[in-house]
Amino acid sequence: MSGAIEKVSIVISKGSIDGIYPGLIMANGARAEGIEANLFFTFFGLDAIHKKRQRSIKIATVGNPGLHLPTWLGAIPGISAAMTKYMNAKMAKLDIPTVPEFVEMISDTGAGLYGCEASVDLFGFSKDDFVEQMDSIITVGEFYDIAAGGEIVFT
């Protein structure tokens, strides 16, 4: 049996509510337990730290088996917006921070927040497109250097 986890690096690759929140919750929990935490945002997960996009994170309704909706129902215009509003209201009632608040809070605890260079290039973004809490844009190799000696979690 191994010892306690001392460091965790979390990869966030999805840009939906159910793709972003698990990583933020895990990072926040790690920091609360005194565990070093680093977040690596790649592909659509970059929306969590994108200045113009982080306030409009939605829940995907089409093809999301966790919602237990028929696929055709999720495709009806307005369903995604309604489900997003519903989920945001439930989270607010439980005092779960919004994505911008969570990102700021996690950064304030000393966690590292990194954008994936390949994804940033793919989408034509620059450092200016991201929130000030993002430490830097790094390569996958640099992420592995930062993650060395710890656990890597892919959400």
Q: What digits encode the pLDDT tens for the residues 16-48?
A: 999 999 999 999 999 999 999 999 999 999 999
CATH class name, domain 7-57+100-154? alpha beta
Domain ranges of the chain: 7-57+100-154
Tens digits of residue pLDDT in 116-145: 999 999 999 999 999 999 999 999 999 999
d(CA 147, CA 142) in angstroms, rounded, equals: 9
**Averaged pLDDT, 101-105:** 97
How far does Cα 90 stand from its chain's mean position? 19
d(CA 146, CA 144) in angstroms, rounded, equals: 5
Given a cut of 70, is residue 112 above it in pLDDT?
yes
Given a cut of 50, is residue 1 above it in pLDDT?
no
Q: Give every strand in the sheet of 7-12, ordered side by side.
A: 136-138, 112-116, 36-41, 7-12, 151-154
Tens digits of residue pLDDT in 55-91: 999 998 888 888 888 888 888 999 999 999 999 999 9
Which DSSP category does 66 fall into? G
Predicted confidence at residue 138, as pLDDT, reads: 98
Structure tokens at 102: 């969570």
**DSSP H stretches of helix in 1-139:** 17-32, 71-74, 79-93, 99-108, 117-122
**Averaged pLDDT, 86-110:** 96
Predicted confidence at residue 2, as pLDDT, reads: 60
